[in-house]
Structure 1
Amino acid sequence: MSFTADLSVWVSRQRWFAGKSHDPRLRILDAQPTREAVRYLVMDDAGSRPTLYHVPLARPAAGTDAETVASDASGPLIDAAQHPPFTIGLLADMGVDVERVRGSRVLTGEQSNTSIVFEEDDRPTIILKLFRTLHHGENPDVTVQRVLSDAGSPYVPRFFGNLDAQWPDIGRPGGTAHGTLGFAQEFLPGVRDGWSIALAAARADTDFTRASGELGAAVAGVHGALRTHLETMPADAESVGATEVAWRRRLSIAMSEVPAVAARAEAIASAYDDALARPWPRLQRIHGDLHLGQVLAVPEDGWRIIDFEGEPLRPMAERAIPDLATRDVAGMLRSFDYAGAVGGRDDAAHWAAACRAAFLDAYTRAQGAVELDDVVLRALVLDKAVYEAIYEARNRPDWLPVPLAGIDAALA
């Protein structure tokens, strides 16, 4: 096969490739020489929205066992994320002091990006997130984590630096787009994500309310810092109208795909009407996709919140628009319900309710919290559960009772 064909086959097999629902049609948009590698920007035009992938390739070092991605006239090429001379060079380009860096390794399990851990003096200290899907504009994950780190927030890992690039884009003025390739931050050893901890607590019948409360305070602290250091805006008629359109669109889709949601649609729509009639707080930058899997517990040092890219299915430009901080609260409340249900508890609803209560109590009392309107919060919880019902009906029908129970609880 040709170089492009080999590259296309490899890209289409990666977990971060988002076009698995269609037959890909990949072409090389640009090839940019960089330290110890060539950065290929590969466009997939076959889906509903063109997607640009970031694929750096390098010559394998002697003795490497990395998979060959493709070959050219000079020999085989591997994923440059597996090539320490390239990855350490990325750190240096971000302004990070690499004098004590001794090596790097790719973390497994990543889905939408590639995470690379670096060791200084034989211990991991830095993690680099290499974005695989590129978008015009600075990635919200970089914007938010840099601002929070610079503000001294104790609830995010320390931010070290980021790297941008440009590429051809005939749809933009001047024919060039600019975006974020990746960023580096503090690596936190020994951490566990909130989902695995909550799930273990639910299964073992151990208390999770104290941890839920501490998490509520952490989310409030992040909201306060974002409100102080990034833009806010009033919830004007246009913003509220856009939210209403999104709510009703999701409900319409759910009604057509999930009969159980259709049976509840009138009550859900009424809850939306109630929320739309209320005064809303100022809109601000938020996490945008907050759940237990997006928080890390650091041994003896509390919670860290990560992955501020926002909801994966929303266009990148929309993720940077100020939104209701209450949306993050609603996302976490739904996550407690999932942990209780997946944990297989007979009293899952009671366990989750206790976690929700602890989270809300701590959040509302903590510095930085936005004032929560119960009517607006209920609508956002319902919207999240409606979204979940669509997802579960399409992908995990056995899990559909979880969001349906969440809808019933919110309506009650």
Structure 2
Amino acid sequence: MAETVTPSGTTPPSTTPSSTSTGTTPLLASLDPLLREWLPRQRWFAGKGRPVTGFTLVAATELLPVEGRLGLYHLLLRVHQSAAPGAPPQPDDCYQLLIGVREALPPRLAPALIGHVSSGPLAGRTVYEALHDPRPAEVLLEALRTRARVGALAFERTEGQEIRDGLVARLLTSEQSNSSVVYGDTFILKLLRRVTPGVNPDLELPLALAREGCARVPAPVAWLHTELDAEPYVLAVLQPYVSGAADGWELALRELAKGEDFAAEARALGRATAEVHTALARALPTVTLGQAQLRQLVDGMAERLTAAVRAVPALRPYEPGLRSAYAALADLAAEGRTWTAQRVHGDLHLGQCLRSPSGSWSLIDFEGEPSRPLAERRLPQPVVRDVAGMLRSFDYAAHSARPPAPLWAHTCRSAYCSGYAEVAGRDPRTDPVLLRAYETDKAVYEVVYEARHRPEWLPVPLSAVRRLAAAPDPA
């Protein structure tokens, strides 16, 4: 799409936008050198390690007039990058940015600094990551509360859901592939950073689960979306905030550090996962995977392994053993074995689970693995896909302890599968070939991720790779 601007339109009360928009070419030219330096440093930027070669401004919406003391732009920015050496060209990513504009930043906003603009329509101003600033973040909530339309941006709210005004915003600073803002311990807004056209499962699946009355997933209260070139884009989702909840990852690490058993929590998590899978199977269609479909699935796993070995040479010694996991699954399919597939979470791990003060577990973040195409993330999959992700997460937790605690991981993996079976009526370990293939695929993904983003963590998935390449291990 050519460089365009989305004109300002109606806005939520308490904002007074200009009826005109800053020209996009001067705006982008003035921000270009600052964004080239700032974007690659962001946790959610997916193109680390590849030089930024340019930008295309897909859309720009003025949410607060830049002529005032505080300006606010909503940008959709396509980032052009050169391919890594020896790697095939990658498609350009589109990112959602909220750019605040001030004459000068107060000290409290110093960590949000993007830079000082030296030319163009914002010359002499300071631009910064606006979500660090409560006022711009509250503008978003007010727009959702009032179901505002601002240019091509549409702020929607679920019928019957009320959002009271006056809730104070604070940005969560934990590592995430997106950005989250909490409003008064009542709501949490997840702002998607790398956006793609199509129906986003992070909104689609929680809405479907809400219709089924599944209490294991917070129901969407409101969301932000737009349409570009006749394609829908989901940009943000507002859900209830589980106040006082413990993140599953942090809770597991605390129990590990104290030497406490986590089996009861793992079993409860298994039950919660099975409840969500059961509700998704009721809400959305299921399919049967036969030989042709399994061949495609296995081919995808094998292709990802080929790319991973190319990207991370440390995988090369284990490649034959890893491929045997996929070959074993293909052999079963060739013998006539079939599997049921349905919509699943797609990126399930301890960090995607919350335990409320009452002890109840919830599942969150249904976006799927952000590095995979949206169409792939929306495909029906065997439920073992999610189970494998959680088993890998227990392994991660155990290997982050000092010293590592492999027995702790084994106990948690077993308890989780047992809890899952209590609700689903089938233990994932009774299908060891399928489980091994999915866990292998997940471990290969983790190796590439850690090599790119957290090299110090690379030994964790590599230890699983060694195990999975050597022999099947149901739990």
| Amino acid across the alignment from 1:42 | L
Choose 32-41 or 195-204, whichever is displaced more: 32-41
| Amino acid across the alignment from 1:146 | L
1:279 match: 337
TM-score by length of 1: 0.86
1:171 match: none
1:288 match: 346
2:60 match: 31
2:141 match: 88
Select the residue among 171, 183, 187 that pairs with 1:106.
171
* Contact persistence 2:196–2:374 (CA under 8 A): yes
Instruction: Report the 3-state secondary structure (helix = DSSP H, G, I; strand = E; otherwise coil) of the residue aligned with 1:108.
Output: coil
Separation (CA, whole Å) in 1 of partners of 2:426 and 2:295: 24
Q: 1:398 to 1:265 in 2, by over 3 A?
A: closer
Q: Identity over aligned residues, as a percent?
A: 33
| Amino acid across the alignment from 1:80 | A
Q: Deviations over 1:178-222 (max 9, x none)?
A: 201101001112222212222232332211110010000000000
Select the residue among 205, 208, 222 that pairs with 1:161.
222
Select the residue among 207, 226, 236 that pairs with 2:261.
207
> Do residues 220 (structure 1) and 274 (structure 2) align?
yes
1:15 match: 43
> Do residues 310 (structure 1) and 368 (structure 2) align?
yes
Q: 1:68 to 1:342 in 2, by over 3 A?
A: closer
* Contact persistence 1:292–1:332 (CA under 8 A): yes
> Do residues 250 (structure 1) and 304 (structure 2) align?
yes
1:192 match: 246
| Amino acid across the alignment from 1:43 | R
Separation (CA, whole Å) in 2 of partners of 1:407 and 1:353: 18
Choose 192-201 or 291-300, whichever is displaced more: 192-201
* Contact persistence 1:223–1:369 (CA under 8 A): no
* Contact persistence 1:386–1:407 (CA under 8 A): no
Select the residue among 377, 399, 405 that pairs with 1:341.
399
* Contact persistence 1:283–1:325 (CA under 8 A): yes
Instruction: Report the 3-state secondary structure (helix = DSSP H, G, I; strand = E; otherwise coil) of the residue aligned with 2:167.
Output: strand
Separation (CA, whole Å) in 2 of partners of 1:85 and 1:206: 41
Separation (CA, whole Å) in 1 of partners of 2:322 and 2:35: 46
Q: 1:58 to 1:275 in 2, by over 3 A?
A: same
* Contact persistence 2:224–2:236 (CA under 8 A): yes
Instruction: Report the 3-state secondary structure (helix = DSSP H, G, I; strand = E; otherwise coil) of the residue aligned with 1:31.
Output: strand
2:87 match: none
| Amino acid across the alignment from 1:107 | L
Q: Superposition RMSD on alpha carbons, in Å?
A: 2.9
Separation (CA, whole Å) in 2 of partners of 1:79 and 1:386: 33
Separation (CA, whole Å) in 1 of partners of 2:182 and 2:121: 32
Q: 1:316 to 1:272 in 2, by over 3 A?
A: same
Select the residue among 458, 465, 469 that pairs with 1:403.
465
> Do residues 3 (structure 1) and 31 (structure 2) align?
yes
1:170 match: none
* Contact persistence 2:169–2:182 (CA under 8 A): yes
Measure how far apart 1:411 and its partner are. 5.4
Instruction: Report the 3-state secondary structure (helix = DSSP H, G, I; strand = E; otherwise coil) of the residue aligned with 1:289.
Output: coil
* Contact persistence 1:381–1:410 (CA under 8 A): no
Select the residue among 347, 359, 384 that pairs with 1:326.
384
* Contact persistence 1:117–1:126 (CA under 8 A): yes
Measure how far apart 1:60 and its partner are. 4.4
* Contact persistence 1:80–1:87 (CA under 8 A): no
Measure how far apart 1:224 and its partner are. 0.5
TM-score by length of 2: 0.76
Instruction: Report the 3-state secondary structure (helix = DSSP H, G, I; strand = E; otherwise coil) of the residue aligned with 2:81.
Output: coil
1:137 match: 198
Instruction: Report the 3-state secondary structure (helix = DSSP H, G, I; strand = E; otherwise coil) of the residue aligned with 2:368.
Output: coil
Q: Which runs of 5+ in 2 are unaligned?
A: 1-28, 66-71, 83-89, 148-155
Q: Deviations over 1:354-409 (max 9, x none)?
A: 21111111111214868752332232223323444455566344432243235445
Measure how far apart 1:57 and its partner are. 2.7
Separation (CA, whole Å) in 1 of partners of 2:451 and 2:37: 30
Select the residue among 70, 76, 79 that pairs with 2:129.
79
Separation (CA, whole Å) in 1 of partners of 2:427 and 2:321: 30
Measure how far apart 1:344 and its partner are. 3.3
Q: 1:107 to 1:295 in 2, by over 3 A?
A: same
2:408 match: 351
Equivalence map 1:146-157=2 (5 Å): 146-157=207-218
* Contact persistence 1:80–1:86 (CA under 8 A): no
* Contact persistence 1:382–1:410 (CA under 8 A): no
Select the residue among 211, 230, 233 that pairs with 1:179.
233
Q: How many residues matched?
A: 400
2:3 match: none
Instruction: Report the 3-state secondary structure (helix = DSSP H, G, I; strand = E; otherwise coil) of the residue aligned with 1:282.
Output: strand
* Contact persistence 2:291–2:333 (CA under 8 A): no
1:53 match: 95
Equivalence map 1:362-401=2 (5 Å): 362-367=419-424, 373-391=431-449, 395-396=455-456, 397-399=458-460, 400-401=462-463
Q: 1:197 to 1:260 in 2, by over 3 A?
A: farther
Separation (CA, whole Å) in 2 of partners of 1:393 and 1:38: 34
* Contact persistence 2:187–2:240 (CA under 8 A): yes
| Amino acid across the alignment from 1:206 | E
Q: 1:280 to 1:292 in 2, by over 3 A?
A: farther
1:126 match: 187
* Contact persistence 2:43–2:176 (CA under 8 A): yes
| Amino acid across the alignment from 1:243 | L
* Contact persistence 1:244–1:276 (CA under 8 A): no
